Structure 1
């Protein structure tokens, strides 16, 4: 399962224009998407920084796969804690076939 989720994230790097951007701060891009052919078991989002990607679970903020440089990963995790309810709402919207809302950046 972990490999499937991470493989989907890496494949998404090549088609990031298609993925809804949820937020952007300090060079980090937060995206969330549903891959129709892959059943996602946990709500999660993808964070991209330069050539690195991390997949973060939303229900209990934790790393599913990948990683960012330490400083950027801490910022992403702090942002996710602050906006956990909004992230869960966006996940539900995507599962229902709707576009997610933008979420305020980390300041």
Structure 2
């Protein structure tokens, strides 16, 4: 679908809530994991709805990855999450 969703280690970063970064056709956005809400950026309506649906379906996995990546010490770990099909 051309939507790329990613998460990375941001200890002390600007966003202090669990979130994902999303890229689509040169547009970038940040979505809150807890609410699936668009928090930053501008996204086309159809793709926004797809990302929101995916977050709702994968919320537990996303929170697990967030917790693994944002441990203050040690090497961060994570796992790939199934895409929306």
TM exceeding 0.5 = yes
Q: Is the 8 A contact 2:10 2:70 kept in 1?
A: no
Which range moves more in the overlay, 29-38 or 89-98?
A: 29-38
TM-score (norm 1): 0.70
SS state of the match for residue 87, structure 1?
A: helix
Q: Partners of 1:70 and 1:51 in 2: how far apart?
A: 15
Partner of 2:35: 60
Partner of 2:47: 72
Q: Partners of 1:86 and 1:94 in 2: how far apart?
A: 12
* 1:11-30 mapped onto 2 (5 Å cutoff): 26-30=1-5
Q: How many residues align?
A: 82
Instruction: List runs of 5+ in structure 1 lacking aligned partners.
Output: 1-25
Instruction: List runs of 5+ in structure 2 lacking aligned partners.
Output: none
Higher helix share: 1
